[in-house]
A and B are shown apart, each in its own frame.
Chain A
């Protein structure tokens, strides 16, 4: 049987969801026997590949860069999973949404800086006006809320997807 092609991605988040994914511990061995992890912070690939079966995305869409990435991921993946509250509600990254981007940047890089005060411009992705959930910009096939979602919930999701089912999460997950 052909192995499924799995990709993971983090956008504006704390990587906690990926940590929770690693918390499935030895169960990951069974997962990689059934699927190749073709892209993600856990592996080396440089470019998001085409023809991905399942893409698991953590984090909110916060910058122009995030926006381009998530659109590319959507185009190249059959199933897109939003993992964790940031990807689903905006969560902590969205707490900046009620302020102007300029105000935030000034607070951090000018008022809050001890040395080299100034808002960086080169090589830093432009922030969007607001940090928004994935479903505001692309179609999402499955939402797994939680901050982070528990390892058991993530393992359940992975197993179901690898079995070819869209999992029914029931009450296994919650916001927060």
Chain B
């Protein structure tokens, strides 16, 4: 049994187990911190920077998904400053690629879209990049649409950590980063892919989807991943 620590989250005193992250403690206490790359059951990447929180006495913002709680820690999960940064991070994600919600199979079931709505993003101040990106339809059951990818790497982690196949990874760097299967071969030609579909279920947007879905038809079942992960933890 790990040691218990007490922390304050938005002023409220919470008890937590040592080693738990701020994100987990906040969620257990009914506060949801926005996040796109984090997913229960997978290791944390700390990449999307939406879950940044303020911790009293620390001059910089910390990612809730990777920062473990300490006794006496006082965390603020919502503030004007945080809201400002989160909105900007969303805006940057929207301009980066072509997120055309109205014609997306995930319309209405997309975490990016929902978060924008929740945080009151009604428009983006920066010019859109409108990059020319491909859609990989080579897999018999699934589709990879780079236009919708936010590079959260959930698929990379679920495939590596849960399925153990490590089909996905991120190639290149910076703004040119691109999700690739195997060593950048079409998904359908991947020798490692087991077609288990967990990457599709983990994907927060319409980037990895099932074939044959029309607009608004693609719903994801994250629970598939989290249940599996929990069972693996229970029987290592």
**Contact residues of A between 68 and 108, Cβ < 8 Å to B:** 82, 85, 88-92, 94-95, 97-98
Closest to B108 in A: A176
Known: A98-B131, A133-B128. Contact between A176 and B122, CB under 8 A? no
Query: How long is the Cα–Cα vector from A35 to B104 in the complex, in angstroms?
Result: 37
Q: Do A174 and B127 have beta carbons less than 8 Å apart?
A: no
Q: Do A176 and B104 have beta carbons less than 8 Å apart?
A: yes
**Contact residues of B between 85 and 135, Cβ < 8 Å to A:** 94, 98-104, 107-108, 110, 113-114, 116-118, 120, 122-125, 127-128, 130-133
Give the A-B pair count, Cβ closer than 8 A: 76
Q: Does A28 contact B (CB under 8 A)?
A: no
**13 residue pairs bridging A and B, Cβ less than 8 Å apart:** A82-B123, A85-B101, A89-B100, A97-B128, A97-B130, A135-B125, A143-B123, A145-B123, A147-B102, A169-B120, A176-B107, A176-B108, A176-B110
Closest to A142 in B: B122
Q: How far is the CB of B64 from chain A (nearest CB, A)?
A: 22
Closest to B131 in A: A98
Query: How long is the Cα–Cα vector from A143 to B118 in the complex, in angstroms?
Result: 15
Residue numbers in A under 8 Å from B127 (CB-CB): 132, 136
Query: How long is the Cα–Cα vector from A12 to B113 in the complex, in angstroms?
Result: 23
Q: Do A98 and B132 have beta carbons less than 8 Å apart?
A: yes
Known: A85-B102, A95-B98. Contact between A175 and B130, CB under 8 A? no
Q: Do A91 and B123 have beta carbons less than 8 Å apart?
A: no
Contact with B along A49-84 (1 / 0, CB 8 A): 000000000000000000000000000000000100
Closest to A145 in B: B122
Known: A145-B122, A171-B120, A174-B116. Contact between A98 and B100, CB under 8 A? no
Known: A175-B101, A176-B101. Contact between A90 and B130, CB under 8 A? yes
Residue numbers in A under 8 Å from B114 (CB-CB): 174
Q: Does A127 contact B (CB under 8 A)?
A: no
Query: How long is the Cα–Cα vector from A58 to B202 in the complex, in angstroms?
Result: 35
Interface bin, chain A: 20 to 34
A-B contacts besides A89-B128, A140-B123, 15 pairs, CB < 8 Å: A85-B100, A89-B99, A90-B128, A92-B100, A94-B98, A94-B128, A135-B125, A143-B123, A145-B123, A169-B120, A169-B122, A173-B117, A175-B102, A175-B116, A176-B102
Residue numbers in A under 8 Å from B123 (CB-CB): 82, 88-89, 133, 135, 140, 143, 145
Q: Does A170 contact B (CB under 8 A)?
A: yes
Q: How far is the CB of A98 from chain B (nearest CB, A)?
A: 4
Residue numbers in B under 8 Å from A171 (CB-CB): 117-118, 120
Interface bin, chain B: 20 to 34
Known: A95-B98, A143-B122. Contact between A174 and B128, CB under 8 A? no
Query: How long is the Cα–Cα vector from A171 to B108 in the complex, in angstroms?
Result: 14
Query: How long is the Cα–Cα vector from A130 to B107 in the complex, in angstroms?
Result: 24
**Contact residues of B between 182 and 201, Cβ < 8 Å to A:** none
Query: How long is the Cα–Cα vector from A82 to B124 in the complex, in angstroms?
Result: 12
Q: Does A9 contact B (CB under 8 A)?
A: no
Q: Does A21 contact B (CB under 8 A)?
A: no
Q: Does A38 contact B (CB under 8 A)?
A: no
Q: Which of A85, A94, A140, A174 contacts B130 (CB 8 A)?
A: A94
Contact with B along A116-154 (1 / 0, CB 8 A): 000000000000001011011000100111010000000
**Contact residues of B between 108 and 164, Cβ < 8 Å to A:** 108, 110, 113-114, 116-118, 120, 122-125, 127-128, 130-133
Residue numbers in B under 8 Å from A98 (CB-CB): 98, 130-133
Query: How long is the Cα–Cα vector from A145 to B114 in the complex, in angstroms?
Result: 13
Q: How far is the CB of A70 from chain B (nearest CB, A)?
A: 15
Q: Do A174 and B100 have beta carbons less than 8 Å apart?
A: no
Residue numbers in B under 8 Å from A133 (CB-CB): 123, 128
Q: Which of B100, B125, B132 contacts A94 (CB 8 A)?
A: B100
Query: How long is the Cα–Cα vector from A156 to B136 in the complex, in angstroms?
Result: 42
